Amino acid sequence: MEKPNAIGWFDIYVEDMDRAVAFYEGVFGQKLDGMNDPTGETQMMSFPASMSAYGASGALVRSEHARPGVGGTMVYFSAEDCSVQESRVVAAKGRIVRPKFSIGDFGWVSLCMDTEGNMFGINSRT
């Protein structure tokens, strides 16, 4: 059996779920879906996912047990050209931390901040 990738899921912690959903839907042009939390302790909205596609999926999470902010886990979203999503960040009320830059053989990255104070990356091959 093939060994799984290191990341199987991610949570992005938020304070205001409606604001965060509007931001991520605006930047990535995809609808997030509501998720049930079996513990009943958190509010969750998941990113679209296909179990047969490469990469991990995850959710925005509002929880009393964690807070958003810089310096925590860094999530990198995959894109065909990260400058496309980067161009939507400010309109979605986020900010660009570092515009698209080369990471050599690994392509390109844009570093951005969401409406909740979380920094995230957008990675593309071009």
Number of domains in the chain: 1
User: Residue 7 corresponds to which tokens in the numbers above?
Assistant: 């990341």
Task: Judge whether 107 lies within some domain.
Answer: yes
Domain interval for residue 88: 9-63+74-124
What is the chain's mean pLDDT, rounded?
Answer: 90
- Predicted confidence at residue 4, as pLDDT, reads 65
- Predicted confidence at residue 6, as pLDDT, reads 66
- Predicted confidence at residue 28, as pLDDT, reads 96
- State the CATH number of the domain containing residue 115: 3.10.180.10
Task: Judge whether 1 lies within some domain.
Answer: no
List strands edge to edge, sheet with 33-35.
9-13, 57-63, 42-46, 33-35
Task: Judge whether 115 lies within some domain.
Answer: yes
Task: Judge whether 2 lies within some domain.
Answer: no
Q: Is the pLDDT of residue 113 over 90?
A: yes
**For the segment 9-68, what is each residue's pLDDT rounded down to a tens digit?**
899 999 999 999 999 999 999 999 999 887 788 999 999 988 788 888 899 999 888 888
Task: Judge whether 3 lies within some domain.
Answer: no
Of residues 92 and 1, the one with the higher pLDDT is: 92
> The whole model's pTM is what?
0.84
Distance CA 107, CA 109 (A): 7
